[in-house]
């Protein structure tokens, strides 16, 4: 019995201990020289179609007409014209820079296109985050065979020089989201059915609390990654409901904490089903919980391979699509999101292939991720069913909140090619994004306080 206990303790210690990761001190010297401090190639490409990184878009470069703290950011590139257009007729010329989802839409719909604009590397981060990120290059480690993260990495992007697929995915999950809460007063989600009819599946007020970067707050749990809660405003039958998600950096010791409040029942219930391939009801069932924000939740059902880097067309500097296409009629076409509302740019991406592990169950057999090398959250994603056929694709855009030194991953578009439907999620045309001046206390953020506060409004 004692030998068994000793063996079990040894196994547990091995699983929870940090695994070897990080890069050598000599390798890390590339940060700030040939690489940016967050690990992207600093130089432009040979063709000149991707520029060198020169510090990003900051407050000093705010365009004329920008009004701070209004929830919306003026487009610094509104006068630019597309360099060229990709459609079904010329897509083969650019096929190596397109995802399977992009190619499927271009092949299927003659009136679908991508307007490609000049590339601007607008990502910029606070000095505090930069310093922590450079530290993490040699010091940050994963745990639990890669599905957990060492809390010593807090405050920075985890792996500016990722060596494997899980490290690259962690960079997306733990991307910089500020140090105080970002809220939306009316984030709407739409599903466009096979007949081309848009239906608003939900209108929610949301709050994202980026605990990972709140290193100066003594009341924060250092094992917490991030949390978000949403208050439903519409449809009427669901109005007043509240849901919350909290993820932790050790998902084995502390699994995702998910809860919901239903006005009719007047009680808070834990919701462990808010994970993996469970469909998200507020998004019409068109998104799974582990593909929120492209990837979220426990990373244990797939093997992640870092293939390398390549150049691809990403939805980038999406000020037009985020703030300037405010009506359903303008934003949504019967079969796809209106191409006129979107801006595509050529950027370098990390390519990650995820393959379902033997013996694991999931709706998908394979996933391909393409994440912006400047770590803004922008990216593309293709998911394949058990027969290897393209199932879903996500296009995730970004804007730089230049006065806040914050790259923000905006609303996304997801296409379900099996159902012939698509979703347009988290539009913020009403109210925009509001960034609080200071973080709320832990007492104010527990589920009971949130429900009490929201139901009293």
Could you read off the pLDDT of 278-288 as tens digits, one per residue? 999 889 999 99
238: domain range? 59-455
pLDDT tier at 271, thresholds 50, 70, 90: confident
Six-digit token pair at 399? 């804007």
Is the separation of the CB atoms in 402 and 147 below 8 Å?
Answer: no
Query: Is residue 351 in a domain?
Result: yes
pLDDT category, 326, cuts 50, 70, 90? confident
Q: What pLDDT is recorded for position 117?
A: 98
Highest mean pLDDT among 30-34, 64-68, 259-263: 30-34
What pLDDT, on a 0 to 100 scale, did the predictor assign at position 382?
98
CATH number at residue 69: 2.50.20.10
Q: Is the dihedral of CA 209, 215, 219, 225 positive or negative?
A: positive
Burial 393-411 (b: 16+ CB within 10 A, else e): bbbbbbbbbbbbbbbbbbb
Residue 379 near residue 410 (C-beta atoms within 8 A): no
Q: Is the peptide bond before 393 cis (omega within 30 degrees of 0)?
A: no
Percent of the chain surpassing pLDDT 70: 95
Q: Is the pLDDT of residue 14 over 50?
A: no
Instruction: Enter the tokens of residue 163.
Output: 């060596």
Q: Average of pLDDT values for 83-108?
A: 98
Asked if residues 342 and 115 have their Cβ atoms less than 8 Å apart, the reply is: yes
Integer Cα distance of 409 and 171 in angstroms: 13
Q: What is the mean pLDDT of residues 58-72?
A: 95
Q: How many CB atoms lie within 10 A of CB 43?
A: 12
Query: Among 270-274, 336-340, 409-413, which range has the highest average pLDDT?
Result: 336-340
User: Considering the domain boundaries, does residue 249 fall inside one?
Assistant: yes
Range in 3-17, 27-41, 293-307, 433-447 with the lowest mean pLDDT: 3-17
Domain count, the chain: 1
Q: Which two tokens stand for residue 271?
A: 């919701």
Residues with Cβ within 8 Å of 419's Cβ and at least 6 positions away in sequence, in order, are: 194, 286
Q: Look at residue 206 and tell me if it is in a domain.
A: yes
Q: Which of 434, 440, 437, 453 is nearest to 206 (CA)?
A: 434
Residue 266's pLDDT is 85
CA distance 355 to 166: 12
Residue (of 417, 404, 345) closest to 44 by Cα position: 345
* Inside any domain, residue 416: yes
Distance CA 371, CA 349 (A): 5
Q: What is the rounded average pLDDT of the residues 287-310?
A: 96
């949504």: which residue's tokens? 332
Q: Is 442 within the bounds of a domain?
A: yes
> CB neighbours (10 Å) of residue 225?
23
Query: Would you say residue 9 has pLDDT above 50?
Result: no
* Mean pLDDT of the 261-274 span: 88
Distance CA 144, CA 151 (A): 13
- What backbone phi and psi angles, to 5 degrees, belong to 451? -65, -45
User: What are the CA-CA distances from residue 318 to residues 20, 75, 91 (Å)?
Assistant: 38, 8, 22
The token pair that represents 321 in the structure block: 């699509």
Domain membership flag for residue 400 = yes
SS3 of residue 382 by DSSP? strand
Element of type H or E holding 428? strand 421-435
Q: Per-residue confidence at 453, pLDDT binned at 50, 70, 90?
A: confident
pLDDT of 49 higher than 60:
yes
Q: Tell me the C-alpha distance between 21 and 303, whole Å.
A: 17
Evaluate whether 151 touches 165 at the Cβ level (below 8 Å). Answer: no
Asked whether the beta carbons of 101 and 393 are under 8 A apart, the reply is: yes
In this predicted structure, the answer to whether residue 3 has a pLDDT above a threshold of 50 is: no
What is the radius of gyration, based on Cα positions, of the chain?
A: 21
Residue 251 to residue 244: CA distance in whole angstroms:
17
Residue carrying structure tokens 């939306």 = 184
- pLDDT by residue (tens digit) across 330-381? 999 999 999 999 999 999 999 999 999 999 999 999 999 999 999 999 999 9
Residues facing 309 on adjacent strands: 350
The whole-number average pLDDT for the span 33-40 is: 98
- pLDDT surpasses 50 at 4: no
Q: How far is residue 88's CA from residue 106's CA, in Å, rounded to a whole number?
A: 5
- Helix, coil or strand: residue 328: helix
- Give yes or no for residue 19 having a pLDDT over 80: no
Q: What is the pLDDT of residue 6?
A: 42
Query: Does residue 10 fall inside a structural domain?
Result: no
Q: Which of 118-127, 164-173, 283-292 is predicted least confidently?
A: 283-292
Assess whether the previous peptide bond of 297 is cis (omega < 30° from 0).
no
Which secondary structure element, helix H or strand E, spans residue 354, and what is its range?
A: strand 344-356
Q: Are 323 and 77 in contact (CB under 8 A)?
A: no
Find the mean pLDDT for residues 424-429.
Answer: 92
The set of residues, in sequence order, having a beta carbon less than 8 Å from that of 6 and lying 6+ positions away, is none
Residue 5 included in any domain: no
Residue 12 vs residue 113, higher pLDDT: 113
């Amino acid at each position: 019995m004692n030998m068994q206990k000793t063996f079990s303790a040894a196994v547990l210690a091995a699983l929870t201990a940090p695994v070897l990761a990080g890069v050598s001190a000599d390798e890390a010297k590339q940060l700030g020289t040939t690489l940016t401090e967050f690990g992207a190639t600093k130089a432009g490409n040979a063709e000149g179609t991707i520029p060198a990184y020169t510090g990003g878009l900051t407050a000093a470069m705010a365009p004329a007409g920008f009004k701070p703290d209004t929830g919306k950011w003026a487009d610094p590139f509104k006068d630019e014209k597309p360099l060229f257009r990709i459609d079904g007729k010329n897509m083969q010329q650019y096929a190596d820079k397109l995802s399977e989802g992009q190619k499927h839409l271009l092949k299927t719909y003659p009136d679908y296109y991508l307007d490609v604009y000049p590339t601007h590397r607008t990502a910029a981060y606070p000095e505090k985050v930069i310093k922590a990120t450079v530290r993490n290059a040699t010091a940050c480690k994963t745990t639990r065979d890669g599905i957990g993260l060492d809390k010593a990495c807090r405050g920075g992007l985890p792996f500016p020089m990722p060596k494997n697929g899980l490290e690259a995915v962690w960079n997306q999950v733990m991307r910089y989201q500020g140090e105080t809460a970002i809220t939306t007063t009316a984030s709407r989600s739409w599903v466009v059915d096979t007949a081309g009819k848009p239906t608003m599946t939900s209108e929610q007020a949301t709050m994202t609390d980026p605990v990972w970067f709140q290193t100066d707050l003594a009341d924060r749990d250092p094992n917490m990654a991030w949390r978000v809660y949403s208050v439903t405003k519409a449809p009427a039958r669901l109005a007043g409901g509240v849901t919350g998600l909290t993820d932790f950096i050790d998902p084995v010791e502390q699994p995702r904490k998910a809860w919901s409040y239903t006005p009719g029942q007047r009680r808070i219930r834990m919701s462990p089903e808010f994970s993996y391939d469970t469909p998200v009801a507020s998004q019409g069932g068109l998104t799974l919980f582990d593909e929120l924000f492209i990837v979220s939740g426990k990373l244990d059902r797939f093997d992640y391979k870092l293939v390398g880097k390549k150049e691809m067309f990403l939805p980038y500097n999406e000020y037009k699509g985020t703030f300037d296409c405010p009506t359903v009629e303008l934003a949504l076409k019967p079969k796809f999101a209106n191409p006129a509302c979107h801006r595509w740019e050529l950027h370098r991406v990390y390519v990650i292939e995820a393959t379902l592990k033997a013996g694991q169950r999931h709706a998908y057999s394979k996933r391909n991720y393409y994440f912006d090398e400047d770590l803004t959250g922008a990216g593309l994603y293709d998911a394949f069913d058990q027969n290897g056929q393209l199932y879903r694709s996500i296009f995730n855009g970004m804007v730089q909140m230049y006065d806040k030194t914050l790259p923000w991953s905006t609303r996304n578009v997801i296409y379900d090619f099996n159902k012939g439907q698509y979703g347009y999620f988290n539009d913020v045309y009403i109210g925009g994004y509001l960034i609080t001046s200071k973080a709320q206390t832990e007492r104010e953020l527990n589920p009971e306080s949130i429900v009490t506060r929201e139901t009293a409004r």
